[in-house]
Structure 1
Amino acid sequence: MYALVLSLISSLLVGFFIKYLKIKEIKNLFVIVFVNYTVAIIVCYSLFNEAINLETLSNSVSYITLSLGILMPSIFYFLNKSLNKSGLAKTDIFQRLSLIIPVILSFWLFQELFTWSKFTAIALAFISIVLLLYKKSTKDENFNTLHLIAVFIGYGTVDTLFKILATNKNIPYIAALFLVFIFCAIVSGLYLFLSKGKIQKKFIFYGLILGILNFSNIYFYMKAHKIFSDSPTLVFITMNLGVIIGGSLIGKFYFKEKLTNNAVAGIVLAVISVILLALIQIDIL
């Protein structure tokens, strides 16, 4: 369970850090993103260099690692566009509801056993997401469908691909993770070149911090999937609900955002959902 908790904490810190920075210009964003993946490469190799060699890297090259290398930095672009065109409320809802993609695929790709207990927990999870995010809704009807759909599909696909990567016994996952970071750095470097981003020291520093947090998040997320390989739904839902609940609490106590009755009800349902999934995992339900 420690891997899931550490991944959740890292993910919360990543979200907090990005929100704290309030990066508006795309070129500045990709300076941070590029440095972030460069740092992730260095940290990954420094910690696990014995598991990274030509043989393990060659065994890690696949459509999964390449797809993740393209998708992960690309999501930053569409996320930024969606925030500017559609606003935080709609973007946040589409990002979190992307959970439906890996959850549904869990029963198809990963042969997870379907039970009515799991169905109840999943239903409560989605209701809680709607309640937690509804508080951010606005009357502004401006939105860009393409960017919202890109965020929805992008996050759902990345979650699913990481699950496939973590549970594929033919792929050494440390070397695969290292390779993903390399592909991400190349793609984000290309985005940075195209956006003509100016390298400033403060953005390099931000990228250093984000790189360490992001590496921790992805590494422990993959490790959690390996540990709970028989119950990917537990990982998917716990991570998403944990990020939303944690983000709501951080918003209230740090950013002084109001916690509505809908949000409180959503947190209660989310906790119930995660508890149900945990009880299912240990065969009590």
Structure 2
Amino acid sequence: MIYLLLSIIASTLIFIVFKLFSKYNINTMQAIVFNYIFACTSGLLAYGEPISLSGLPQQEWFIGAVVLGLIFILVFNCMAITTQKNGLSVAAVASKMSVAIPIIFGIIVYHESTGLLKISGIIIALFAVYFTSIKKSSGIHIQKENIIFPVLVFIGSGFIDTSLKYIELNYVSKNDIPIFSATIFGCAALLGLLALTYQRIRGTLNIQFKNILGGIALGIPNYGSIYFLIQALRAENLDSSTVFTINNVAILLVSTLTGILLFKEELILKNWIGIALSIFSILLVALSI
């Protein structure tokens, strides 16, 4: 349970760092790329064994890590487009509602435990995600021509969580978790560096030191969120559907409360309903363990 708690804390720190980006006018794209570089570096430093770059492609989990790395940064870009075209609420709901994919996968494929408390908690959690993510009293409206972007965020985010569980269960040893995580972030960093190189060729790249600092501030908790989540998924007394439900809802709950306390964010009635449902759903799922 301690790893699940640490994953929630690390993910909440990511939220805080992102909020500070706008305050200090940090270039998000550049910071994201540097974030992946430093997250990769964190994994390499945490790995306690000699590192052989030539031997990495021989690892059973290598291809999966490469695919995840590419999807990481693609999903981020889709989230950015979704926010621009459909609003922040749509992006938040699409990202967090994707927890349904690994939950259903875990129950069907891994035959994970089900019961009235757990199923009720999961269903309530989905409602909690929706209500907590709404930031406008008018609700969520998606134009038909832009619906592809939130759909891609939903599928991509769900694919990432589902794949993390599948790969760590079948191919990643406990000692390889740091290098596995580092490889994911390293591949995402390479794709991001290609994008920055393209900007450089076009003459539109202007790297500032504060963007690098932003990347460092984001990279360390980003690595921690993945590392601790994988460790939580390996816990014998917690199945993946329980981990993903509590993790996603608790992150949304703590991030929302942090926004109120630190950034003086104002909530509408639906948000408070979402907070209440979040707490109730976590209790139900926790009691079902």
Q: Work out whether residues 165 and 173 of structure 1, in 8 Å CA contact, stay in contact via their aligned partners in 2.
A: no
Distance 2:284 2:142 in 1: 38
| 1:252 match: secondary structure | helix
Q: Structure 2 residue aligned with 1:250, among 258, 261, 266?
A: 258
Does 2:231 correspond to 1:223?
Answer: yes
| 1:50 match: secondary structure | coil
Distance 1:179 1:194 in 2: 23
The residue identity in structure 2 corresponding to 1:113 is S
| 2:47 match: secondary structure | helix
Cα distance change on mapping 1:91 and 1:271 into 2, 3 Å: same
Cα distance change on mapping 1:203 and 1:270 into 2, 3 Å: same
Q: Work out whether residues 134 and 140 of structure 2, in 8 Å CA contact, stay in contact via their aligned partners in 1.
A: no
Q: Give runs of aligned pairs for residues 32-47 of structure 1, distance below 5 A.
A: 32-47=31-46
1:243-284 deviations in Å (ceiling 9; x for gaps): 211122122222222233332222222212112222221xxx
The residue identity in structure 1 corresponding to 2:198 is L
1:118-144 deviations in Å (ceiling 9; x for gaps): 211111111222222234354784642
What is the CA distance between 1:174 and its match in structure 2?
3.1
Q: Work out whether residues 132 and 272 of structure 2, in 8 Å CA contact, stay in contact via their aligned partners in 1.
A: yes
Does 2:174 correspond to 1:175?
Answer: no
Aligned-residue CA RMSD (Å):
2.5
Q: Give runs of aligned pairs for residues 1-285 of structure 1, distance below 5 A.
A: 1-22=1-22, 28-50=27-49, 52-53=51-52, 55=55, 58-138=58-138, 141=141, 143=143, 144-169=146-171, 172-196=176-200, 197-228=205-236, 231-281=239-289
Distance 1:274 1:228 in 2: 19
1:135-178 deviations in Å (ceiling 9; x for gaps): 43547846421211111111111111111122225554333222
Instruction: Flag as ranges the 4+ runs of structure 1 deviating above 6 A.
Output: none
What is the CA distance between 1:51 and its match in structure 2?
6.5
Q: Which stretch shows the higher mean deviation, 49-58 or 191-200?
A: 49-58
What is the CA distance between 1:211 and its match in structure 2?
0.9
TM-score by length of 2: 0.87
5+ residue gaps, structure 2: none
Distance 1:91 1:221 in 2: 22
Distance 1:36 1:153 in 2: 23
Identity among equivalent positions (%) equals: 27
Q: Work out whether residues 131 and 266 of structure 1, in 8 Å CA contact, stay in contact via their aligned partners in 2.
A: yes
Cα distance change on mapping 1:93 and 1:44 into 2, 3 Å: same
What is the CA distance between 1:86 and its match in structure 2?
0.8
Cα distance change on mapping 1:119 and 1:141 into 2, 3 Å: closer
Distance 2:172 2:133 in 1: 39
Q: Work out whether residues 96 and 129 of structure 1, in 8 Å CA contact, stay in contact via their aligned partners in 2.
A: yes
